[in-house]
Chains A and B, each alone.
Chain A
């Protein structure tokens, strides 16, 4: 039920209703982006953002730095284990 998939916003289709097209591995769908916009991050600036898509809504913006940091930690762990 709580299935969510990361996708990238490729186009804003309706500024007033906060609708955008999200690309998920080549499949495109209109998604409501109300939950990820605020004064510091208005609708117009969302193109290129990676978001978690759930039942037609972008529920949260994905933080690429945090994703990279998690992977870096796991990389270090794998190198350490391989060296043992």
Chain B
């Protein structure tokens, strides 16, 4: 029922059906305004182009998906290149963590609850989906509160919720733990694998692979929904220490294009600041209630392993000791093995923006959404799945555009 609800809301065909009534969405898909923004982007792109495309990373997988869904790459001039970042929680999950999740789901007294996104991600042997087919009691839920409800309905079972996601999702699982505490539910725990955006961006900017001038990023379109929680302040380090413009962006086509235009305007003016395009939902200080819930339940891990990026200091969350009775890691002994990715899979390079999906040897041949080898092909927010779904099986070599002399205005 819950999944059906999600399907109704998210299905693109049905969104078209509901198009007349989707307030705060339709207005931000207006073709006239899109055209005007593209013209502005073209003008300013030509103005600041210096022989190689201006590389802007959209960090969030939601942005990646929207960019492909609306064909924004085709609308943008060749002076601009979008680089798809590591903001897909499913894609950055190392295989060893999936193996832990699968091992938990196979415990006889466990009901393992997860968001649907994680179901098809391959572990070292198989996925949660295959574990379910083999008899493990795995339930797909829409909300962590649904997992808590399952725990209340099954007092003789231990319900483990696979808590993945960035700061957008972490407050919801923290609040669910606080609810479990207040309702005195003892058979519920979180397998906490939440990750943090800003430490990952810092790791990316410090990565030696990106020292190559051809791969250097010029600016960031930052994740709007993470920012509803954390606000705009935490990105200041990216602007100040790494001298990259950052614009927090919404998810509709006009939001993304306006944000790209704002990044370009900063580059043209030689500014590196944190700006907010998504003012209708993002406040500078974020959401105090959500941050407080996270602060009460979680603490920052010394380090957390990211697929492709390796161990990143202070980039993940774990449960505080006071909440050990809701902490899967305290309640169970996990295999906790490090499993390398298959050699053919180049998800790591794709997550860093070093390779495009179509440059991976197995893309679209051995690795497809039906039979994914790497996680970037699983999630609809993964760059590989987006390229595959929207028919970007190969791309022509971009044409070189002759540099034009700098001129004022535009």
Chain A positions within 8 Å of B, measured between CB atoms, are: 1-6, 8, 17, 24-27, 29, 32, 34-38, 50, 52, 54-57, 59-60, 62-64, 66-67, 69-71, 74-75, 77-78, 80-82
Which chain A residues border B40 with CB–CB below 8 Å? 77, 81
Of the candidates A37, A52, A55, A74, the one whose C-beta lies within 8 Å of that of B115 is: A55
Judging by beta carbons under 8 Å apart, are A55 and B27 in contact?
no
Which chain A residues border B117 with CB–CB below 8 Å? 1
Known: A2-B62, A2-B225, A77-B36. A25 touches B5 (CB 8 A): no
Q: Mark B284-328, 1 if CB is under 8 A from A, else 0.
A: 000111100100000000000000000000000000000000000
Complex-state Cα separation, A81 to B168, whole angstroms = 36
Of the candidates A24, A55, A70, A80, the one whose C-beta lies within 8 Å of that of B277 is: A70
Complex-state Cα separation, A38 to B283, whole angstroms = 16
Known: A2-B60, A50-B23, A52-B281. A57 touches B33 (CB 8 A): no
Of the candidates B35, B145, B171, B254, the one whose C-beta lies within 8 Å of that of A35 is: B171
Judging by beta carbons under 8 Å apart, are B290 and A56 in contact?
no
Interface size range on B against A: 35 or more
Which chain A residues border B89 with CB–CB below 8 Å? 1
Judging by beta carbons under 8 Å apart, are A78 and B145 in contact?
no
Can you offer 15 A-B residue contacts whose CB atoms are under 8 A? A1-B379, A2-B169, A2-B223, A4-B225, A17-B179, A25-B21, A25-B22, A34-B289, A38-B289, A52-B281, A56-B142, A57-B143, A67-B280, A70-B258, A78-B36
Complex-state Cα separation, A5 to B226, whole angstroms = 14
Which chain B residues border A25 with CB–CB below 8 Å? 9, 18, 21-22
Complex-state Cα separation, A43 to B277, whole angstroms = 29
Judging by beta carbons under 8 Å apart, are B21 and A34 in contact?
no
Of the candidates B5, B225, B258, the one whose C-beta lies within 8 Å of that of A54 is: B225
Judging by beta carbons under 8 Å apart, are A70 and B9 in contact?
no
Which residues of B, 15-34, contact A by the 8 Å Cβ criterion? 18, 21-25, 27-28, 30, 32-33
Known: A1-B117, A36-B289, A62-B280. A55 touches B142 (CB 8 A): yes
Per DSSP, chain A at the interface is: mixed
Chain B positions within 8 Å of A, measured between CB atoms, are: 5, 8-10, 18, 21-25, 27-28, 30, 32-33, 35-37, 39-40, 60-62, 87-90, 115, 117, 142-146, 164-166, 168-169, 171-172, 175, 179, 223, 225-226, 228-229, 251, 254, 258, 277, 279-283, 287-290, 293, 379, 381
Q: A27-B5, A81-B40 are in contact. List 8 more A-B contacts (CB 8 A).
A: A1-B89, A1-B165, A2-B62, A38-B289, A52-B228, A55-B172, A57-B143, A59-B287
Of the candidates A8, A54, A67, A70, the one whose C-beta lies within 8 Å of that of B172 is: A54
* Shortest Cβ gap from A4 to chain B (Å): 5
Which chain A residues border B30 with CB–CB below 8 Å? 74
Known: A1-B62, A6-B24, A55-B144. A63 touches B8 (CB 8 A): no
Complex-state Cα separation, A3 to B28, whole angstroms = 16
Please, which residue of chain A has its CB at the minimum distance from the CB of B87? A2
Complex-state Cα separation, A1 to B145, whole angstroms = 16
The 10 A-B residue pairs with the shortest CB-CB distance in the complex, in nearest-first order: A56-B143, A78-B36, A81-B36, A67-B280, A60-B228, A66-B279, A2-B168, A25-B18, A2-B225, A6-B24
Complex-state Cα separation, A38 to B291, whole angstroms = 13
Please, which residue of chain A has its CB at the minimum distance from the CB of B261? A77
Of the candidates A1, A50, A67, A74, the one whose C-beta lies within 8 Å of that of B88 is: A1
Of the candidates A52, A70, A74, the one whose C-beta lies within 8 Å of that of B36 is: A74
Which chain B residues border A77 with CB–CB below 8 Å? 33, 36-37, 40
Of the candidates A1, A6, A70, A82, the one whose C-beta lies within 8 Å of that of B279 is: A70
Judging by beta carbons under 8 Å apart, are A71 and B35 in contact?
no
Which chain B residues border A62 with CB–CB below 8 Å? 24, 280-281
* Shortest Cβ gap from B36 to chain A (Å): 4
Complex-state Cα separation, A71 to B168, whole angstroms = 25
Judging by beta carbons under 8 Å apart, are B8 and A4 in contact?
no
Of the candidates B145, B168, B228, B293, the one whose C-beta lies within 8 Å of that of A56 is: B145
Complex-state Cα separation, A48 to B290, whole angstroms = 21
Judging by beta carbons under 8 Å apart, are B115 and A1 in contact?
yes
